[in-house]
């Protein structure tokens, strides 16, 4: 069985993107896996700290247990998403025990997020996780730059953010970061934003973000590793597909499947109906938005 690190590298070389579907509610996991298998795709099933702290994923152990019920290693792997060193409320997080627990629970890749720290501190925190995870043979994703959206309070106007390049990943910092941390994948900020997670804003339609592809080209050349796009929901399709051609090998999808689940639960109170809504939207993401349905063979072969 190919490792998750090999699969992501194969995706980069093949010009195919691996979606990582975030699971804020445990019943969402089964229909996501079913859609991925039915459409002969490959995806990561991901959970981030906000999803068990602020939603209903419960815990990394609960997600791992649910994943085991539906696991199909030819199509899906389990990923520990955003474990922040400093969280969205600017509170320090005891992140290393969370990573250790994820490794013990069988997560097949992990992400440490030190992006709210100064560069040197982000490098040190990421290096500590790399040492821990690589000893277990597990790849590490890190983040550099400010992928905004999880913080409390309104974002500045999107056009202002994009025009200014505020928070965009710096190319020379990325070169240094990858060299000094040894991380396997790097999440970059090039115009993408996260969906809101604070109560009262979760139902809002995301801004239709676009991407600065010239910066992405520079980052891909400087780092030489698979790059990751967080906040994949709501980005213009043409920008997403172009980003894959320019070095993005993994894209996180959360809001796009979370909101249909929540809407169906509000309207029907029926978990099965909500799961069907998740299935339909996941199928749309795979087939129409990311065009990865039927692409698993390229990832397996590393073509």
Q: Going by C-beta distance under 8 Å and a sequence separation of 6 or more, which residues neighbour residue 44?
A: 4, 18, 19, 20, 21, 76, 77, 78, 79, 109, 250
H-run or E-run covering 251: strand 248-253
Q: What is the rounded CA–CA span in Å between residue 263 and residue 83?
A: 27
Q: One of 81, 87, 184, 239 is an active-site residue; which one?
A: 81
Show the tokens assigned to 62. Answer: 């609960």
Residues 6+ apart with CB under 8 A from 269: none
Q: In the annotation, is 170 catalytic?
A: no
Positive or negative: CA dihedral 95, 96, 101, 104: positive
User: Per-residue DSSP letters for 27-49?
Assistant: GGHHHHHHHHHHTT--EEEEE-H
Catalytic residues: 81
């Amino acid at each position: 069985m190919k490792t998750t690190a090999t699969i992501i590298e194969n995706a980069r070389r093949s010009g195919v993107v691996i979606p990582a579907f975030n699971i804020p509610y445990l019943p969402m996991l089964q229909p996501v896996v079913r859609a991925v298998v039915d459409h002969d795709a490959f995806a990561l099933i991901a959970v981030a700290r906000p999803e068990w702290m602020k939603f209903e994923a419960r815990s990394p152990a609960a997600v791992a247990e649910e994943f085991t019920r539906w696991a199909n290693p030819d199509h899906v792997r389990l990923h520990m998403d955003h474990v922040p060193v400093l969280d969205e409320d600017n509170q320090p997080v005891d992140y290393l025990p969370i990573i250790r627990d994820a490794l013990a629970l069988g997560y097949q890749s992990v992400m440490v997020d030190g992006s709210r720290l100064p560069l040197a501190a982000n490098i040190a925190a990421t290096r500590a996780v790399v040492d821990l995870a690589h000893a277990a043979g597990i790849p590490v994703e890190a983040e550099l730059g400010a992928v905004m959206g999880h913080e409390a309070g309104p974002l500045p106007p999107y056009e202002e953010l994009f025009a200014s390049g505020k928070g965009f990943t710096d190319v020379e910092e990325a070169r240094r970061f990858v060299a000094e941390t040894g991380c396997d994948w790097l999440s970059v900020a090039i115009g993408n934003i996260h969906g809101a997670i604070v109560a009262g804003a979760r139902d809002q339609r995301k801004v239709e973000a676009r991407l600065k592809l010239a910066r992405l080209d520079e980052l891909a050349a400087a780092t030489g590793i698979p790059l990751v796009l967080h906040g994949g929901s709501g980005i213009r399709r043409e920008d997403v597909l172009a980003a894959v051609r320019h070095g993005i090998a993994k894209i996180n999808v959360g809001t796009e499947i979370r909101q249909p689940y929540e809407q169906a639960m509000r309207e029907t109170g029926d978990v099965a109906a909500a799961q069907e809504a998740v299935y339909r939207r996941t199928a749309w993401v795979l087939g129409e938005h990311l065009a990865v349905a039927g692409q698993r063979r390229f990832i397996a072969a590393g073509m």
